[in-house]
């Protein structure tokens, strides 16, 4: 009988996608143990593809952050959270 899992996602849309990819990678790894050889190979390839996509997302997030710092956008964002005058 199949098990039912519930997943709760939090954070930004980008972080939610990363959470789903991590969960899918984990499930692919778990499924490999009870699979026949061809399915095991397919699940291994899927796990590797998911890991590659996670790396691509992490790299893109880092590059976007570096671009924001370089352009000054990140500092403007930080400044916008400060009060306009001292209390």
Mean residue pLDDT across the chain = 90
* Greatest Cα-to-Cα distance within the chain, rounded to the nearest angstrom: 67
For residue 40, count CB atoms less than 10 angstroms from its CB and return exposed for 0-12, middle for 13-18, buried for 19 or more: middle
How far is 24 from 28, CA to CA, in rounded Å?
Answer: 6
Confidence grade of residue 86 (pLDDT, cut at 50, 70, 90): low
DSSP 75: H
How far is 73 from 57, CA to CA, in rounded Å?
Answer: 21
- Contact 17/60 with Cβ under 8 angstroms? no
> What share of the chain has pLDDT > 70, as a percent?
97
The pTM assigned to this predicted structure is 0.76
């Amino acid at each position: 009988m199949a098990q039912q899992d519930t997943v709760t996602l939090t954070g930004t849309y980008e972080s939610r996608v990363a959470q789903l990819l991590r969960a899918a990678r984990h499930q692919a790894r778990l499924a490999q143990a009870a699979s026949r050889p061809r399915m095991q190979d397919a699940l291994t390839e899927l796990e590797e593809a998911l890991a590659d996509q996670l790396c691509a997302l992490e790299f893109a997030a880092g590059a976007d952050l570096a671009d924001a710092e370089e352009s000054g956008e990140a500092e403007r964002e930080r400044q916008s959270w400060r009060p306009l005058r001292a209390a």
